[in-house]
Amino acid sequence: MKQLVIETKQLSKTYEGVVPVHAVNEVDLEIENNEFTAIVGPSGSGKTTLLNMIGGLDRPTSGGVKVNGHELSGMNENELIDFRLKHIGFVFQSYNLIPVLTAKENTEFIMLLQKIDKKIRDERVEKLLHEVGLGEKMNSRPAQLSGGQQQRVAVARALASKPDFVLADEPTANLDSHSTANLLDIMARLNQEEGITFVFSTHDQRVIDRARRVITLVDGKIESDERR
């Protein structure tokens, strides 16, 4: 059953300066559950800014964002932090793993913040790391993992909190072709088999080719929206 998980209305972000930069300009967007969507466009088109506003990491200049019916603009910083923790998973280009923690510890970190019981944490982390092909690397630290393996830990971490959806900002930018294909296979399987919603910001053609919906941004505006 289709359900609206992300809705933006006239969403805009302007960075003030000598010449104001309209990074995102009056974007209306709806994303339903189970989508596998790529937001694409040239550098400076507003992809990352749009993703950051959807994820509550950046506040809009005007317009609004709703996540499962919750209006983000009405929340203060502490409420936003709590909301992100419970509802939104993030995968970043730079992995953002904690160097001194193992793959297991990095994956369970958000669940620790959520005060989830240790038994549940252990079961979920083991399941997730096996799902992303890292069951035998649970006790390895980031420096002992390849770039592709680190990004798979980041995906497991994003899913650990059972978010409403996952935002992935250029997740394949630092990966070789083999690692990219492996990561996309994992995310596509999680999307199809477990119904996890993924929204990518990307300029990587390999990601675009796998997406079932491609939204093109140019100068902060949606130029096209193609479903496949």
Report the share of the chain in percent with pLDDT over 70: 100
Enter the tokens of residue 5: 């998980």
Enter the tokens of residue 216: 């093109």
Q: What is the pLDDT of residues 41-97, one digit of tens each?
A: 988 899 999 999 999 999 999 999 999 999 998 899 999 999 999 899 999 888 899
Q: What average pLDDT does the structure give for the chain?
A: 93
Strand (E) positions, the chain?
4-15, 21-32, 36-40, 62-67, 70-71, 88-92, 165-169, 198-201, 213-218, 221-227
pLDDT of residue 165: 94
pLDDT reading at 138 higher than 90: yes
In sequence order, the 6+-apart residues with CB closer than 8 A to the CB of 162 are: none
pLDDT band at residue 17 using 50, 70 and 90 as cut-offs: confident
| Closest alpha carbon to 129 in 147, 167, 102 | 102
| Closest alpha carbon to 30 in 213, 184, 193 | 213
pLDDT of residue 2: 84
The residue-averaged pLDDT of 120-134 equals 93
pTM for the full model?
0.92
Could you please state the CATH topology (level 3) that the domain comprising 36-56+85-227 is classified under.
Answer: Rossmann fold (3.40.50)
